[in-house]
């Protein structure tokens, strides 16, 4: 009932906007379709709590952070006991926790239903408001929901199937909501640019300070967007200084953003032990043709590798030609038909008709392309592709301007249809049944029991990636992927879970995993008891096939739950 009321309120907000009826209907229908990636996940089916797509891992991580934030701000690390959550932007999770707590909605309904639909609607609304021409605005809305890459061309040629959304590396529009912090950052970015357009002619210092604070919120939600916006406004200021057109507003906006961003980063402890960018030019470009799950052109990749050791010879032109070819495959493969928007950019530059918004967007796009082309993130190189997501956002903007000039409705419809082919391939997977992963009823019941126990640290059996080989879906979460599911659904800290996110956030987890493996294999009862006591373990969570190295009595454990193949022990202290 509460969920229905909140969603109804959001729909009313949309309907009260002074925009055409067709735009409202397009936003509403597209938001519902885009939200298909989220809406069915987190619901109970006969086989358990179901999760589609990356929600079987990524959503579980967010739920674990959300439930920690309901207890502590800043949060403890839900998957690595004894530490706070550093090097991670948990602004979206804080918003989710606050909404859940204030409205009494479950974390599942907040995360999978209320916020996705709300964010999708606001992405469409501010996409419309940012563009002055109505036809262009409507196309921009559509592209921000459904524009895709040329990946479908490759999959059709290779297998006869339509797919390949991220075959050229980057996530596309249809998957926006399965990365909720990114989706929320789009709401802030588009609405912030709309407000900037309205107030930049103002000389009021208050407007600049408030806008600086508003944009700085990106630091806590998606640091990639915050970096791009901060650098763009700074470079735009330098450009205006060079032209002698800078005003107090232009100085105050980037300065206030930098100040407030620093405060937010300090509060979140965002840079404590954070991975830094590492100079590795063309890492994505090279891995595109070298990785078997991407475009994969082994002969050309081998040729480039061999030529790289002979660049100081007459073969240099061939080497450079290959590098340019691979870069073009990366860029245009990800853009799909959006590359046609480059014509709009060229015409604006040629006519010297760049508005202040154009200047911002072009600087922003150059940075969003240059950073992942030249740098990777230490430890998790592929994470840097998230800068490129924002490049595609504004490629939609100029592609929309290009399409709006087409007079033939048949041609316009055909181009929109072609650019959204990968979105069809992506979205259809979320309508299938059963789900790829699930939390079985027995485990859900056990974790609900554990949630009611006093706060403590939970020891779980180490994840075994080999268990899922040749198994049919839906896969239980403990098999599907290393994840934070025990922490997420018990609201306790785990001693070690979700090794993937521990790698991303820079924690030294392999040593702790070795400790756990030693515990379950040891022939020394005192060492086993020592791990429990020295690490302040309160609970041990095991499934039927996961066995203790000694009897519960020897390890001083009390069996507090034993049903349907799930056992929970409490450590005697």
In a shared domain, residues 493 and 458: yes
Tokens at 301, concatenated:
């990749």
In this structure, the answer to whether residues 418 and 478 fall within a common structural domain is: no
What pLDDT sits at residue 275? 53
DSSP 71-137: T-SSPB-TTSTTSB--SS--HHHHHHHHHHHHH---HHHIIIIIHHHHHHHHHHHHHHHH-SSHHHH
- What is the number of other CB atoms lying within 10 angstroms of the CB of residue 195? 17
Tokens of 503: 């790698």
Classify residue 90: in a domain, yes or no: yes
In a domain, 288, yes or no: no
pTM: 0.93
Nearest of 564, 570, 571, 572 to residue 446 by alpha carbon: 564
Assess whether 423 and 442 both reside in one domain. Answer: no
Residues 455 and 554 in one domain: yes
Residue 246 lies in a domain: yes
Among residues 348, 455, 468, the alpha carbon closest in space to that of 401 is found at 348
Alpha helix locations (H) across 175-315?
A: 180-199, 205-216, 218-221, 223-242, 248-268, 283-290, 298-308
As for how many domains the chain has, the answer is 2
Which H helix or E strand runs over 409? helix 409-419
Domain containing 491 — which CATH number? 3.40.50
Regarding whether 355 and 225 lie in a shared domain, the answer is yes
Instruction: Say if residue 166 is in the same domain as residue 255.
Output: yes
Query: Among the three residues 430, 449, 481, which one is the final residue of a domain in this structure?
Result: 430
| Statement to judge: residues 445 and 538 lie in one domain | yes
Tell me which of 363, 396, 430 is where a domain ends: 430
Q: Is residue 312 part of a domain?
A: no
The span from the CA of 515 to the CA of 509, in Å, is 10
Tokens 């707590």 belong to residue:
101
Q: Per-residue pLDDT for the chain (573 aa), expressed as one digit of tens each?
A: 777 777 777 878 787 788 899 999 999 999 999 999 999 999 999 999 999 999 999 999 999 999 999 998 889 999 999 888 887 889 999 999 999 999 999 999 999 999 999 999 999 999 999 998 999 999 999 999 999 999 999 999 998 889 889 999 999 999 999 999 999 999 999 999 999 988 776 667 788 888 999 999 999 999 999 999 999 999 988 888 887 777 778 788 888 888 888 888 878 776 554 457 889 999 999 999 999 989 999 998 888 888 887 767 667 888 889 999 999 999 999 999 999 999 999 999 999 889 999 999 999 999 999 999 999 987 778 889 999 999 999 999 999 999 999 999 999 999 999 999 999 989 988 988 899 999 999 999 999 999 999 999 999 999 998 888 778 889 999 999 999 999 999 999 999 999 999 988 888 899 999 999 999 998 888 888 989 999 999 999 999 889 999 999 999 999 999 999 999 999 987
Same domain, 421 and 511: no
In a domain, residue 296? The reply is no
Please report whether residue 81 resides in a domain. no
> Could you list the residue range(s) of the whole structural domain that residue 459 is in?
438-571
Residue 537 has a CB neighbour count (10 Å cut-off) of 21
Is position 497 within any domain? yes
């Amino acid at each position: 009932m509460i969920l229905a009321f909140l969603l109804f309120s959001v729909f009313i907000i949309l309907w009260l906007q002074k925009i055409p009826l067709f735009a409202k209907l397009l936003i509403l229908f597209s938001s519902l379709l885009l939200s298909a990636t989220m809406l069915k996940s987190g619901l109970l089916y006969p086989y358990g709590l179901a999760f589609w797509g990356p929600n079987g891992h990524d959503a579980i991580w967010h739920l674990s952070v959300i439930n920690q934030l309901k207890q502590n701000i800043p949060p403890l690390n839900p998957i690595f006991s004894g530490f706070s959550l550093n090097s991670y932007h948990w602004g979206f999770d804080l918003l989710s926790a606050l909404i859940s707590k204030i409205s009494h909605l479950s974390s599942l309904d907040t995360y999978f239903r209320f916020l996705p639909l709300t964010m999708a609607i606001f992405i469409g609304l501010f996409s419309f408001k940012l563009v002055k021409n109505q036809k262009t605005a409507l196309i921009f809305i559509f592209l921000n929901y459904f524009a895709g890459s040329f990946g479908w061309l490759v999959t059709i040629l290779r297998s006869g199937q339509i797919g390949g959304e991220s075959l050229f590396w980057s996530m596309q529009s249809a998957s926006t909501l399965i990365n909720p912090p990114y989706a929320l950052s789009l709401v802030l970015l588009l609405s912030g640019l709309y407000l900037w357009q309205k107030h930049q002619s103002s000389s009021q210092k208050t407007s600049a300070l408030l806008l600086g604070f508003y944009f700085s919120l990106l630091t806590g939600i998606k640091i990639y967007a915050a970096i791009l916006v901060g650098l763009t406004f700074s470079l735009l200021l330098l450009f205006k200084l060079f032209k002698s057109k800078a005003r107090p507003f232009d100085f105050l906006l980037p300065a206030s953003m930098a100040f407030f961003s620093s405060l937010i980063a300090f509060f979140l402890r965002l840079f404590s032990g954070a991975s830094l960018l590492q100079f590795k030019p063309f890492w994505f470009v090279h891995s595109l043709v070298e990785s078997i799950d991407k475009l994969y052109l082994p002969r050309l990749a081998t040729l480039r590798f061999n030529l790289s050791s002979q660049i100081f010879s007459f073969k240099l032109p061939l080497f450079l030609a290959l590098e340019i070819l691979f870069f073009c495959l990366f860029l245009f493969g990800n853009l799909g038909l959006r590359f046609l928007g480059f014509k709009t950019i060229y015409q604006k530059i040629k006519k010297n008709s760049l508005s202040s918004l154009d200047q911002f967007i072009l600087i922003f796009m150059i940075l969003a392309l240059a950073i992942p082309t030249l740098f990777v993130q230490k430890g998790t190189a592929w994470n840097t592709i998230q800068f490129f997501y924002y490049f595609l956002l504004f490629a939609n903007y100029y592609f929309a301007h290009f399409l709006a000039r087409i007079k033939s409705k048949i041609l316009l419809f055909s181009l929109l249809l072609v650019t959204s082919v990968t979105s069809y391939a992506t979205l259809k997977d979320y309508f299938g049944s059963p789900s790829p992963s699930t939390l079985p009823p027995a485990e859900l019941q056990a974790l609900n029991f554990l949630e009611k126990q006093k706060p403590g640290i939970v020891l779980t059996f180490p994840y075994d990636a080999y268990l899922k080989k040749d198994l049919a879906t839906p896969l239980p979460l403990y098999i599907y992927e290393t994840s934070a599911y025990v922490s997420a659904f018990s609201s306790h800290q785990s001693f070690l879970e979700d090794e993937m996110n521990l790698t991303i956030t820079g924690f030294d987890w392999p040593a702790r995993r070795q400790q756990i493996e030693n515990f379950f294999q040891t022939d020394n009862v005192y060492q086993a008891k020592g791990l429990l006591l020295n690490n302040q373990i309160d609970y041990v969570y095991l499934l039927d096939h996961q066995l203790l190295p000694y009897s519960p009595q020897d390890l001083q454990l009390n069996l507090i739950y034993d049903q349907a193949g799930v056992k929970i022990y409490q450590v005697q202290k």
